[in-house]
Amino acid sequence: MIASVKGTRDLLPPETRAWNRVEAVAREVFALYGFDEIRTPVLETTELFVRSVGESTDIVHKEMYTFTDRGGRSVTLRPENTAGVARAYVEHALAQAGRPWKLYYIGPQFRYERPQKGRFREFRQIGAEVLGPADAATDAELLVMLFDFLRRLGFTGLSVSLNSVGTEATRPAYVEAIRAFFSSNENERALGEDDRRRLDENPLRILDSKDPAVKELVASESFPKMIDLLASLDPASDAHHRELVEHLSAARIPFKENPFLVRGLDYYTRTVFEVTAAGLGAQDAILGGGRYDRLVSDLGGPKTAGIGFAIGEDRLVGVLPQAFRSAAIDAVRPVVLIPLDRTDVAEALALAGSLRAAGIPVDLVTQAKGPRHGLRVAEKTGAALAVLLGQKEREGGTVILKDLARRSQESVLRLALAAALRARL
């Protein structure tokens, strides 16, 4: 037997109905906020992620599916979608349209991580990006849209973790403060090999350390906080952050400031945020996002501000409120149509056609070995209604309509069948 690749998985029915419904709601909500879909390739030039997500991040450093293609180019299965969107924005000169671009995507991403609950090597993201506007109201509206979406799925009690990671104006001072913190022997001793490399290459990355001893230090009172540097070194970012906080309060978006949130990607400037959900274990972030005002220009495009988020769809579906899940799964229940003999199949095909034309979903079971077997198959599909068609019914212009839940049956004129089914569906 050939099994699926480690860290990948098949999504089977009826679970796929929940996925489809989630995606349909995302499309509906995002359209309400003026967003349009973008679809970028799964395969990108490796250089794109090195330059955007950042060389010293875990993603680029050890989690990418990178290989040399037959033409000798280094290509990578996208580990995230923001870089691809920014590349497309530059490549198609979207800036020239002189309008903000509000784009969303739904699709698979790949990271070579150790698989565990809520963490896969192939996973799916639902994301949105706004390219152009740099103001705090844009950040606020993006979060309003996000919560609108999450609430329509039935989530309650979720809250955003919010921080500002500043800009070039604060980054060097913050990096120095982190280095100074670890220059004390005691703190330095806590660092493992990975974190020493981080301190060397990109000290901000220490804040995503998974080492418990380092995590404890980072969460301590004495650890430097970017937000403390903003007011003195970067008043514009400080004002942006305070304005965002005001907008979120006014819009009643539940949020909590978290001075230690930096996120595991290098392109962020100013606003960063995450939403976590209980019940996911260690992998509890259902989404993350932030502002990236330098990404487009770093990729060779015109100076363009940007902000976005990506929801981990696997995790989202993993904690989907039960009512939404059941409604999605129960939404489609085709009527099972069972021709009782081979000689009844042609007539059943025609009947199925006319019912479908009337908008009734029909699951035709052509290989039933008699009525009992046909009904057993119908029950196993989860159907509520079955229609049996045999010689006697054909001759009489009727069918037998079975209510599988109530275990009742009646003879119905074929002409009245569509109405009878609709009344019961």
Residues of the shown chain interacting with ligand HAM in the complex, contacts defined by CB under 6 A? 80-82, 111, 113, 119-120, 123, 125, 127, 129, 264-265, 285-290, 308-310, 312, 314-315
Q: Which two tokens stand for residue 12?
A: 């089977």
Q: How far is the CB of 121 from ligand HAM (least distance, A)?
A: 7
Q: How far is the CB of 14 from ligand HAM (least distance, A)?
A: 21
Q: How far is CA 3 from CA 6, 9, 16, 117, 123, in A?
A: 8, 10, 20, 19, 17
HSE-CB at 12 with a 13 A cutoff on CA atoms is 2
Q: How far is the CB of 119 from ligand HAM (least distance, A)?
A: 4
Q: How far is the CB of 131 from ligand HAM (least distance, A)?
A: 10
Q: How far is the CB of 111 from ligand HAM (least distance, A)?
A: 5
Report the residue number, 294 or 394, with the smaller CB distance to ligand HAM: 294
Asked whether the beta carbons of 116 and 122 are under 8 A apart, the reply is no
Cis status of the peptide bond prior to 203, with omega within 30 of 0: no
| Cα Rg of the chain (Å, integer) | 28
Q: How far is the CB of 267 from ligand HAM (least distance, A)?
A: 8
Q: What's the rounded Cα separation, in Å, for the pair 88 and 90?
A: 5
Q: What's the rounded Cα separation, in Å, for the pair 232 and 331?
A: 56
Q: What's the rounded Cα separation, in Å, for the pair 319 and 283?
A: 12
Question: Rounded to a whole number, what is the distance in angstroms from the first to the last CA of the chain?
Answer: 41
Asked whether the beta carbons of 181 and 167 are under 8 A apart, the reply is no
Q: What's the rounded Cα separation, in Å, for the pair 333 and 351?
A: 18
In sequence order, which ranges of 77-206 are alpha helices (DSSP H)? 82-91, 136-152, 171-183, 185-189, 193-201
Report the residue number, 308 or 334, with the smaller CB distance to ligand HAM: 308
Q: How far is the CB of 58 from ligand HAM (least distance, A)?
A: 10
Report the residue number, 82 or 170, with the smaller CB distance to ligand HAM: 82
Report the residue number, 286 or 299, with the smaller CB distance to ligand HAM: 286
Q: How far is the CB of 284 from ligand HAM (least distance, A)?
A: 9
Strand segments, DSSP code E, in 241-371 are 255-257, 271-276, 285-291, 305-312, 335-339, 362-364
Q: What's the rounded Cα separation, in Å, for the pair 214 and 217?
A: 5
Report the residue number, 290 or 374, with the smaller CB distance to ligand HAM: 290
Report the residue number, 33 or 187, with the smaller CB distance to ligand HAM: 33
Q: How far is the CB of 196 from ligand HAM (least distance, A)?
A: 23
Report the residue number, 147 or 182, with the smaller CB distance to ligand HAM: 147
Report the residue number, 49 or 174, with the smaller CB distance to ligand HAM: 49
Report the residue number, 274 or 344, with the smaller CB distance to ligand HAM: 274
Which single residue brings its beta carbon nearest to ligand HAM?
A: 312
Nearest Cα neighbor of 42 from 92, 103, 111, 128 is 111
Asked whether the beta carbons of 104 and 127 are under 8 A apart, the reply is yes
